[in-house]
Amino acid sequence: MNENYIIHRELFRTICTKVIGEGSSRETYSSFVLPGHVVKVEDRAASFQNVIEWTVWQNVKTTPSVAKWFAPCDWISPGGSILLMRKTTPVPDGSFPTKLPEFLTDFKPSNYGMYQGNFVCHDYGLLSVGTNFLSRRLVPVTWSD
């Protein structure tokens, strides 16, 4: 086994604890070192969801009326395989909104959480980077897993 592989694996296990979410192209881990963050690791599908989330956040973070709908991203690795996002907490039962901005399109409850008292999307890697984030139009939501 390659010595670098062993070092990388040990470093990863030092930083990350358990898988707290898994999708078609990436896993999300909690972190020992950064307890207020999750570590998203994309190593399968080359769908670039980490890059999309990073790009979306960079485009909306200075517009408070839009940024409030997204969990913030703080760092992305140079190749886009690892993303650090602020950790959300579960949405209380019965607290899912019936309307959301039209730029949010994937209405699975598992894609959303609470961050600093706000309802936010924490899985927005499938949004189009060409989305009109300035639209204030709210659309009815049908929640489905």
Distance from first CA to last CA of the chain, Å, rounded? Answer: 40
User: Domain for residue 145, yes or no?
Assistant: no
Share of the chain above pLDDT 90, in %: 63
- Confidence class for position 22, pLDDT limits 50, 70, 90: confident
- CA dist 119 and 46 (Å) reads 29
- CA dist 81 and 88 (Å) reads 21
Which residues make beta-bridge pairs with 41?
A: 27, 82
Whether the pLDDT of residue 105 is over 90: the answer is: no
User: Domain for residue 46, yes or no?
Assistant: yes
How many domains does one find in the chain? 1
Q: Which domain holds residue 75?
A: 3-140
User: Domain for residue 106, yes or no?
Assistant: yes
What is the structure's pLDDT at 1? 58
Cβ count near 44 (within 10 Å): 11
pLDDT digits (tens, 9 = 90+) for 6-18: 887 788 888 888 8
In one letter, which amino acid is 25?
S
pTM of this structure: 0.90
User: Domain for residue 74, yes or no?
Assistant: yes
- Confidence class for position 129, pLDDT limits 50, 70, 90: low
pLDDT digits (tens, 9 = 90+) for 49-88: 999 999 999 999 999 999 999 999 999 999 999 999 999 9
Helices (H), the chain: 3-15, 49-60, 64-67
What's the CATH code of the domain at 13? 3.30.200.20
Backbone angles phi, psi at 105, to 5 degrees: -125, -15
